[in-house]
């Protein structure tokens, strides 16, 4: 239907308007959202925008460099934990955090101590994820592990990190994670004003991340990434070392995901290992695929639409949601591989072969019936 409308107005969405129109419209909508939505929904949208940063970070490496990471929740989680450790210590007011006390620890572990200072915890939000991604990426890309192999290794990473966090109850809070985060820099997390401020801060970071990614993909570095995606060997023969560029963009993407996690933690008041596991990590890919991979703005739109739909549908029909999500995974690659943005740009709507065959047969049946009908009349 959208493409029909567009066909009526040729050139209407072309040029600068089609490039910058959707992001600006989206930004205005998001800025205006608190005026019309309830506080609960604004808080929900704030969480979703933190997810949008995560989706953006995945689109940067999947859409542009061709690396499908099925473990991006790990970096989101690490960023979340880094900031939540600071918040937890703020909530504990100089005493030992509750879960450590329950687990029988007598004093704060050494690696926790520096997290009581914001100047340490906040940089760690980006440093921890990018260090892990840099180390893993260096090892993996250096040995020329690509495609499906990389996807599986990143998925294994999600499993390992999440079970590691679950297993270390005294240091990470185990399955529950870090709970009862009460305030951020002295502002209560339960107050509407703080949550609204966090909402606008998240928008600011989302815009910043979007512009950063846009800058990266339109730079020579970004063009090299696309070249690596399309033919890695040719890039190698041209004298570049793809491993270095891939590691760099993987680490950058992990840092962005970490920022998303750090914005997510205070809006929810809890971080837990479940957000780092296999299941949430692979869901990020479907957000990006639904919005349209390799478009950046598509990742944001996809994250917003899928997550909003999730919270609406799973409130009403929890069982139905899983079927829907399964269908979304299949549909996103089989029926509309270019996503919503591809649909808007009128390049995407591909019928799979069996469907187009079925359509042709239906048309044939239709015209046959029509001629028979005419004959009868």
Partner 1 sequence: MTDPAAWAVQIFNGLSMGSIFLLVALGLALSFGLMNIINLAHGEFIMIGAYTTYSLQQLAIVLTGTPAADYSYFISIPVAFLVAGAAGFIIERLLIRHLYGRSLDTLLATWGVGLFLQQLARTIFGAPNVQVVSPSWLTATVDITTTLVLPVKRIFIIALVMLCLGGIFWYMFRSNWGRRTRAVMQNRPMASSLGVATNQVDSLTFALGSGLAGVAGCALALLGPIGPSMGTFYIVDAFIVVILGGLGQIPGTILAALLIGMFNSIFEFSTTAVVGKVLVFALVILFLQWKPRGLMQLRGR
| From candidates 3, 14, 143, 363, binder to partner 1 by CB under 8 A | 143
Q: Is 12 in the site for partner 1 (CB under 8 A)?
A: no
Q: Is 334 in the site for partner 1 (CB under 8 A)?
A: yes
Vertex 230 angle, CA 337 and 13, to 5°: 50
Residue ranges of E strands in the chain: 183-184, 187-188
How many Å apart are CA 52 and CA 298, to the nearest integer? 10
Pick the piece of the chain touching partner 1 (CB under 8 A) from 121-129, 141-149, 294-302, 369-377.
141-149
8 Å CB contact between 268 and 314: no
| From candidates 6, 84, 125, 157, binder to partner 1 by CB under 8 A | 157
How many Å apart are CA 324 and CA 342, to the nearest integer? 21
Q: Is 332 in the site for partner 1 (CB under 8 A)?
A: yes
Q: Is 290 in the site for partner 1 (CB under 8 A)?
A: no
Q: Is 325 in the site for partner 1 (CB under 8 A)?
A: yes
Q: Is 167 in the site for partner 1 (CB under 8 A)?
A: yes
**Which lies closer to partner 1 via its Cβ, residue 110 or residue 148?**
148
Q: Is 163 in the site for partner 1 (CB under 8 A)?
A: yes
| From candidates 147, 208, 215, 366, binder to partner 1 by CB under 8 A | 147
| β-bridge pairing 187-188 and 183-184 | antiparallel
Listed in sequence order, the DSSP H helices in 269-335 are 278-291, 297-316, 318-334
| From candidates 175, 188, 218, 322, binder to partner 1 by CB under 8 A | 322
How many Å apart are CA 218 and CA 227, to the nearest integer? 13
How many Å apart are CA 364 and CA 92, to the nearest integer? 72
8 Å CB contact between 278 and 159: yes
C-alpha Rg value of the chain to the nearest Å: 23
**Which lies closer to partner 1 via its Cβ, residue 62 or residue 76?**
62
The residues that touch partner 1, with contacts defined as CB under 8 A, are 62, 66, 68, 70, 136, 139-140, 142-145, 147-149, 151-153, 155-157, 159-160, 163-164, 166-167, 278-279, 282, 285-286, 289, 319, 322-323, 325-330, 332-334, 337, 352-354
């Amino acid at each position: 239907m959208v493409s029909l409308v567009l066909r009526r107005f040729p050139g209407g969405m072309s040029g600068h308007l089609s490039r910058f129109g959707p992001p600006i419209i989206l930004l205005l909508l998001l800025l205006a959202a608190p005026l019309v939505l309830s506080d609960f929904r604004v808080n929900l949208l704030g969480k979703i925008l933190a997810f949008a940063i995560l989706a953006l970070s995945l689109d940067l490496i999947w859409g542009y460099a061709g690396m499908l990471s099925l473990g991006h929740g790990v970096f989101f989680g690490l960023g979340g934990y880094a900031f939540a450790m600071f918040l937890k210590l703020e909530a504990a007011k100089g005493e030992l955090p509750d879960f450590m006390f329950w687990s029988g620890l007598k004093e704060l572990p050494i690696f926790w101590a520096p997290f009581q200072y914001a100047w340490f915890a906040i940089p760690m939000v980006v440093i921890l994820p990018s260090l892990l991604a840099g180390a893993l990426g260096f090892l993996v890309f250096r040995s020329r592990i690509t495609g499906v192999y990389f996807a599986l290794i990143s998925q294994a990473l999600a499993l390992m990190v999440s079970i590691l966090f679950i297993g270390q109850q005294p240091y990470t809070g185990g399955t529950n994670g870090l709970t009862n985060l009460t305030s951020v820099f002295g502002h209560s997390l339960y107050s509407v004003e703080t949550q609204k401020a966090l909402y606008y801060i998240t928008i600011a970071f989302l815009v910043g991340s979007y512009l950063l990614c846009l800058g990266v993909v339109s730079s020579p570095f970004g063009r090299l990434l696309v070249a690596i995606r399309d033919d890695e060997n040719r890039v190698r023969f041209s004298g570049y070392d793809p491993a270095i560029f891939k590691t760099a963009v993987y680490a950058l993407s992990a840092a962005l995901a970490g920022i998303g996690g750090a914005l997510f933690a205070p809006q929810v008041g809890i971080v837990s290992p479940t957000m780092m596991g296999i299941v949430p990590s692979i869901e990020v890919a479907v957000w990006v695929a639904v919005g349209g991979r390799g478009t950046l703005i598509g990742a944001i739109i996809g994250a917003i639409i899928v997550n909003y739909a999730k919270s609406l549908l799973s409130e009403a029909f929890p069982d139905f949601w899983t079927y829907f999500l399964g269908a979304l995974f299949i549909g996103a690659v089989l029926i509309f591989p270019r996503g919503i943005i591809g649909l808007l740009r009128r390049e995407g709507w591909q019928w799979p072969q069996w469907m187009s065959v079925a359509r042709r047969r239906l048309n044939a049946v239709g015209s046959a019936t029509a001629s028979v009908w005419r004959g009868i009349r």
